Structure 1
Amino acid sequence: MSEPPLPVEVFTAEIPMARPFSHAAHVRRTSRSVLVRCTLAGATGWGEGAPRTYVTGESLDSTVHTLLHTRLPELDGVFDGSFHTGVRALAGLDLPAALGTRAHPAPAAACALEMALLDAWCRAHSRDAADAVAAVGGDLLRPEPRVPVSTLVVDSSRTPAELLGTLSAEARSRLTHVKVKGLPDPEATRELVLLVRKYISPSRTTVSVDANGAWSPTQALRAAALLVGTVDWLEEPTRPRDWATLRRVQREAGCPVMLDESAVVPADLDDAVGHAAASYVNVRVSKCGGPLASLRMLRRARTLGLRAQLGVQVAEVGPLWAAGRLLAARVGGLVAVESGRQDEWFAQDLTVPPYRIDRTHHRAEPLPGPGFGLTPSPRLLRLHACWAGRRDSPLATGKGASPRTRRPEGPNRASA
């Protein structure tokens, strides 16, 4: 298993959503992901990154350019040894900083590459990606895997009556957390939360509000004063890394803060704790640079005394949702877990096997492998994917294809 990695291919995927997903900072009507395919030790692996400019500053085009043209650290020897040696070596790399800088990392690009390499390495050894997580997860992991109950997210595209009111009594009773996407107005947000609370049990279900960094400092403090005691935490209530305002939300208003856009790399958590500006962090696989990078983030959070939620990027279309399920089943102590709503947003199956979730019990079972256990579907690759380029020496030289996109046909056509 000592052969060097073979070329990396990069694809873009843009897919119209059946209904929009709306919150105070953005309305999303189309999914946008970057897919990476690579071959390692004779096996093919797939990865996905979901660049969001309002989250990490990365766009679809910038992520493609990064993957095709940025010089990476030498990986000679990383995949020369045993399965566990290769996993630990990959986990030790800081790919978000390598693909960007420490000040301006590129986590979505890093996530797509890390996942493709890890998927291929696991498949080459006929191993489940859960074995890779076990190799580096340490005391973050549960003694035995357990599928948690998924969060229900209320966005402004539907009313609480349309979303919660149509659930069966059993489905509502099984909810453990509801996240309400904040509205531009704090008073209207409070009214929305009160409507949500009519449908759930206060003893069984926690509630949070996510403003996605859209409120001004004044609005954030007003919202915290209105919502304290009504929600369990406020997620990203003002612009990212406004530590002074976040501290005031916690200290003066008494409302716990969950970081999201403010926390991309572990150093962000150190800054937040140093300013007493957070109690929780939302760890998302693409935002944090991949599943192994997310474990680093979770470990730093636990060391600093921050509790964690495992979130998702809206409209993940491929390997990302499988990676999220894997971590959710293995990592212990999470306050909430998100699983997405791909079954509602997309009319066709985008992966093999397709996205599935039990909406009565709010359970998203992890896939059994090998690797992350899925590939992009022929339909996704034929109808929605554009080949963006190929990197013939992807891990050392920094030379890539010219930036362009086209449908994957002929010798470069993608296949599952």
Structure 2
Amino acid sequence: MVKLEIRHIRLALKKKIKHASHERNDSENVVTVVHLDNGSTGLGEGVPRPYVTGETVDSALEALQSWPLASIVGDPVDFAGVVRALDAWMPQASPDDPRAIGSNAARCSAEIAILDAYARHFGVPIGDALNFSAVAADVPIGEPVPVRYSGAITAENPWKERISATKMRIWGFRQVKVKVGIPGADEVARLRRIRRRLGSKCDIRLDANEAWTPAEFRAWSERLAFSQPSAYEQPVPHEAIDELGKPEFRQPFPVILDESLCGPIDAETAIQGGFGEIFNIRLSKCGGVLPSLRLIATAIRNGRRYGLGCHPGESPILSAAGRAVATRVRDLVFLEGSYDRHVLAEPFAKQDITFGYGGKANPLGGSGLGIEIDMAKLDSVTVRRKDITYA
């Protein structure tokens, strides 16, 4: 590794994304670019969100500048050596970060960039990293196969929600996530409209983004039972999540942990507390590909299920990394991501890897991430950049 670029990028969204925790017109991400001495280049991305891991763009940039990334990997002789080095690397958590998640987005950006660069150098796809992980034997990993992504309906006005649901049905989506818990919204009327247009065969899960108290969650789950959701995602704030392990708040349907599932400490807390039947694995909030695979292994060992999620506003870099995982890891309960063309005003990959009809998507070919980035377009969305040269 001879050079490192650390970038703060701002991606304009096609439309405002709104849920109970936040709303945004753009996405502030961090991108790491790794240059090797043979000319190979790799890119990685993280999406720091204060309300998820506590990270900001500034804290992520600071972390990336402080880590001795070149010495972490050293001079590997094969791709397996790169993976082993990264698998053993976990940044030291600060005393005010008891969950040890405060640099996860930054680590994700660095890890994917390093994997991409060395995968290109050794002429292998980045997905091969899964096979060399320390927990590979504990996770059902296979050859890459086509997959189907979920659709998503965010909080909008009734007319737009009707259109979105109708489009999802016409486009043949089998699974759709619906955002709920929006203050002032008539959730019963919303879900009746949406369920009617999606049809009875479509699997829907309801994502409250920490909107309710445990008691409110119990009440809302009864009121919305007619919509037949397959699961509720993060119905209560992280600070109250352990309440869901109490008998009075247990429900006859699965709860998906999202904001409360960012690292191994979170996973152990859920297992010991008896709550959270499904883990939502998002590469950025979980620290990258390899830490995410460890969380999947933990889920399997403890009788939990798992799905692969994404952050709204991910660029094609994270979309491609997610595709590498999604097409190889089996038994995902749900799959989110590759929304690129539907969400981003101007994706900066030279290839369009947005999912197709019904959320269908194929494995990406080639070495590394399997995509090429238009560096001029990346420059155009770069707000800040710091270059580090290694001797």
Partner deviation per Cα, 1:3-51 (whole Å, 9 max, x = no partner): xx22311011112212111111111110111110112352211110111
Pick one of 94, 111, 118 that aligns with 2:90: 94
Matched, 1:81 2:77: yes
Query: Is 2:262–2:286's contact at 8 Å kept on the other side of the alignment?
Result: yes
Is residue 55 of structure 1 aligned with residue 52 of structure 2? Answer: yes
Q: Residue 22 of structure 1 aligns with which residue? A: 18
Instruction: Specify whether residues 297 and 365 from structure 1 end up closer, same or farther in structure 2 by C-alpha distance, changes over 3 A only.
Output: same
1: distance between equivalents of 2:59 and 2:236? Answer: 26
Q: 1:209, CA displacement in angstroms?
A: 0.8
- Match of 1:165, as an amino acid? T
Structure 1 counterpart of 2:270, one-letter code: A
The partner residue of 2:236 within 235, 238, 252 is 238
SS in 2 for 1:337: coil
Using the size of structure 2 for normalisation, the TM-score is 0.89
Q: In the aligned structure 1, how far is the partner of 2:297 from the partner of 2:317?
A: 23
Cα pair distance change 1:211/1:160, threshold 3 Å: same
Q: Provide closer, same or farther for how the CA distance between residues 249 and 215 of structure 1 changes in structure 2, counting only shifts above 3 A.
A: farther
**Pair 206,8 (structure 1): closer, same or farther in 2 beyond 3 Å:** same
Give the Cα–Cα distance (whole angstroms) in 2 for the partners of residues 218 and 379 of structure 1: 51
Q: 1:41 to 1:141 in 2, by over 3 A?
A: farther
Following superposition, the deviation at residue 221 of structure 1 comes to: 2.5
- Judge which range, 7-16 or 85-94, deviates more: 85-94
Asked whether the equivalents of residues 151 and 362 of structure 1 are also in contact (C-alpha less than 8 Å), the reply is: yes
Question: Is 2:377 the counterpart of 1:373?
Answer: no
CA displacement at 1:342 relative to structure 2? 2.2
2:43 pairs, out of 46, 61, 73, with 46
CA distance in 2, matches of 1:142, 1:108: 24
Partner of 1:154: 153
Residues 306-331 of structure 1 show CA distances to partners (whole Å, capped at 9, x for unaligned) of 11110011011131010111111111
Deviates more, 1:288-297 or 1:227-236: 227-236
Instruction: Specify the code of the residue in structure 2 equivalent to 1:269.
Output: A
Q: Which letter maps to 1:243?
A: I
How many residues of Structure 1 are paired with residues of Structure 2 in the alignment? 384
CA shift in 2, pair 1:250/1:322, >3 Å: farther
Give deviations 1:68-100, integer Å, cap 9, x for gaps: 1356795264x43322222222223224749x9
**1:344 aligned residue:** 342
Query: Retained in 1: the 8 A contact 2:43–2:112?
Result: yes
* Alpha-carbon shift at residue 241 of structure 1 (Å): 4.6
Tell me how far apart the structure 1 counterparts of residues 343 and 317 of structure 2 sit (CA, whole Å): 17
Name 1:32's counterpart in structure 2. 28
CA distance in 2, matches of 1:167, 1:177: 9
Higher mean Cα deviation, 190-199 or 245-254? 245-254
- State the Cα distance separating 1:109 from its structure 2 match: 0.2
* Cα distance change on mapping 1:361 and 1:272 into 2, 3 Å: same
Q: 1:73 and 1:132 mapped to 2: Cα distance?
A: 18
Question: Structure 1 96/183 Cα, relative in aligned 2: closer, same or farther at 3 Å?
Answer: farther
Pair 1:206 & 2:203 matched? yes
The residue aligned with 1:397 is none
Please say if residues 139 and 297 of structure 2, whose CA atoms lie closer than 8 Å, have aligned partners that are also in contact.
yes
Gaps of 5+ in 1: 395-416
Matched to 1:293, the amino acid is P
Distance 1:108 1:213, change over 3 A: same
- What does the per-residue CA deviation read over 1:118-167, in whole Å, with 9 as the maximum and x for residues that have no partner? 11111110111122222323342343322221111110136431112135
SS at 2:15 equivalent? strand
Moved more, 362-371 or 290-299: 362-371
Match of residue 317 from structure 2: 319
Matching of residues 113-152 of structure 1 within 5 Å: 113-136=110-133, 137-152=136-151
Structure 1 length-normalised TM: 0.84
The 2-side partners of 1:329 and 1:96 are apart by 31
* Structure 1 position 248, deviation (Å): 4.3
Measured on the aligned residues, the alpha-carbon RMSD in Å equals: 2.7
* CA distance in 2: counterparts of 1:307 and 1:52, whole angstroms: 25
1:311·1:337 contact (CA, 8 Å) conserved in 2? yes
> What SS does the aligned partner of 1:207 have?
strand
* Contact preservation (8 Å) 1:213, 1:237: yes
Alpha-carbon contact 2:78-2:122 (below 8 Å) kept = no
Rounded Cα–Cα distance in structure 1 between residues aligned with 2:51 and 2:232:
18
Do residues 256 (structure 1) and 257 (structure 2) align? no
Instruction: Quote the sequence identity (%).
Output: 27
Name the counterpart of 1:13. Answer: 9
Q: 1:362 aligns with which of 353, 359, 372?
A: 359
